[in-house]
Chains A and B, each alone.
Chain A
């Protein structure tokens, strides 16, 4: 093997492929640069650009607002982390309830179906208002009163219904032969679910789940309507000082900076699961 030499024909093939690859890269670079220049010149030459630059992209204003906005973002992150754990638990429970078989579980199935119907249908903002202002209005003893808790509860209720559907899709995507094989090995229904179905289901739905969490991260800002100061509200308060909108841009950049790692993680997981082209790489 070691004294193998590619034939002249093969060398020619390799050289040809290399030339094509170089040409592709060159075209890609040139087209990107041309597009960027066109966009920059196009926006820069609009009559309103200087005003937009001063009101939206004032570096000093942004730097000044950064600590306050970042402090608000810390609330978003904490809300998101706590809610994410609860959502996975509730979502999974609902999905399992909905996929249970047998007439005895009919009420559970109906409940799970009704739950997902209602909370996937209700606008999140509405749920936040109803829980955030409605429940404390009951003045029940022993229940917490804090806006952030009820806002988080609204997020959990709504997102659990999305996540439950994702889990259900995963569970139902496991081929019936898997269950049949498990049962014929003598595993109980519970064991089949625990050791055969769920592991496969969860692996399959990991990318869409992460997608839901990116979305949750942004929607965690909606609980600001209850009075808490998150990143967007902090930016709004800064903007109200001088009508300079740069703090909003800062908040946007921080959110993007948070979601990009999550998105890359999603891509990585998807690739590992062989989501693209059955493990054979892009076709």
Chain B
């Protein structure tokens, strides 16, 4: 995501939906714990002894959370958080949720949470202010349209080739449109995503390529009968959401270790399938 998404950032922040940020190839924490023991539950430097305090914004949106209740363990981010907590040795009852506004998660100074989960993209600029765990979600490019459009029921990328698709100039969405969808018609390229939405409403284009968080926002808030056609197969896209921790937090290494373990044992993939794919953003073959 380049310049274009900075524009989207404001809207997303306002929605509490999350954010996209400049591309970032590196991930992972600055410090590595010396051994498995260092991440034992009783050695963790948590804010409240015996409890893991997790922050997120209110309202907490689908499909990242469910029913505006982070503590029910439903929704992708809620489920991942409980999985991480479990790796760190905390039972479900020992996880405490705290409302933390998106912006204040980055505010300098001590934090009231052990970790914050709010669709925050990892970036080098932000890393100057806070710590990030390694990414728990790779932001994926998605095709959206309106109900009744000719691509509304497309199941594969190949079915999109004949459609007139649009994207914002200078974004990874455009790159994905060009390189992955390989449309037969010249794509429409807009200065902002809002203009693309207007063109879609006017039926001047058949669909828009945007990242998944923006897709959820556009289909829910900007379009009357918006529909996510599906996620493009993941490619070199490296924008990732990560847990936010206080700058220099002793927990960072342990959370990163937990996220990496969940990634390698397939838990993250399963949760993505359960909460993102089945909540209306199917995979395109």
Contact = CB atoms under 8 A, between A and B. Distances in A.
Contacts of B198: 133, 137
A236 B170 contact: yes
Contacts of A236: 169-170
Contacts of B169: 233, 236-237, 240
Contacts of B90: none
Interface string B1-18: 011000000000000000
Nearest to B169: A236
Interface in A191-238: 224-229, 233, 236-237
Given A237-B174, A240-B169, A147 B189 contact: no
A227 B174 contact: no
A104 B195 CA distance: 46
B166 interface: yes
A147 B198 CA distance: 12
Interface in A140-161: 145-147
B170 A227 contact: no
B25 to A, nearest CB: 15
Nearest to A233: B189
Contact of B188 (A136, A137, A147, A240): A147
Given A146-B204, A240-B2, A229 B189 contact: yes
Interface in A93-144: 133, 136-137, 139
Nearest to B2: A240
B99 to A, nearest CB: 37
A182 B204 CA distance: 53
Interface string B178-203: 00000000111111000110110111
A223 to B, nearest CB: 12
Contacts of B188: 147, 226-229
Contact of A145 (B171, B174, B186, B204): B204
A229 B205 CA distance: 14
Given A133-B195, A233-B189, A240 B170 contact: yes
B189 A145 contact: no
Contacts of A139: 202-203
A241 B107 CA distance: 32
Given A145-B204, A236-B170, A240-B169, A227 B199 contact: yes
A54 to B, nearest CB: 20
Contacts of A145: 202-204
A225 B202 CA distance: 15
A227 B204 contact: yes
Contacts of A228: 186, 188
B170 A237 contact: yes
Interface residues of A, number: 17
Given A227-B195, A227-B196, A236-B169, A137 B189 contact: no
A236 B187 CA distance: 14
A157 to B, nearest CB: 19
B224 to A, nearest CB: 13
A28 B104 CA distance: 67
Nearest to A136: B202
A145 B188 CA distance: 13
A237 B202 contact: no
Contacts of B174: 237, 240
A229 B186 contact: yes
B202 A133 contact: yes
B179 to A, nearest CB: 11
Nearest to B178: A237
Interface in B185-239: 186-191, 195-196, 198-199, 201-205
Contacts of B205: 227
Report which residue of B186, B187, B190, B202 has the largest number of chain A beta carbons within 10 angstroms of its beta carbon: B202
Contact of B204 (A136, A225, A237, A240): A136
A240 B23 CA distance: 13
A224 B195 CA distance: 12
Contacts of A229: 186-189
A227 B202 contact: no
Nearest to B172: A240
Nearest to A135: B202
Contacts of B3: 240
Interface of A: 133, 136-137, 139, 145-147, 224-229, 233, 236-237, 240
Interface of B: 2-3, 166, 169-171, 174, 186-191, 195-196, 198-199, 201-205
Given A237-B174, A240-B169, 14 more contacts: A133-B199, A136-B203, A137-B202, A139-B203, A146-B204, A147-B199, A226-B204, A227-B189, A227-B195, A227-B204, A227-B205, A233-B189, A237-B169, A240-B170
8 contacts: A133-B195, A137-B198, A145-B202, A145-B204, A147-B204, A225-B191, A227-B196, A240-B2
Query: A-B pairs with the 4 shortest C-beta distances?
Result: A227-B188, A240-B170, A136-B202, A133-B198
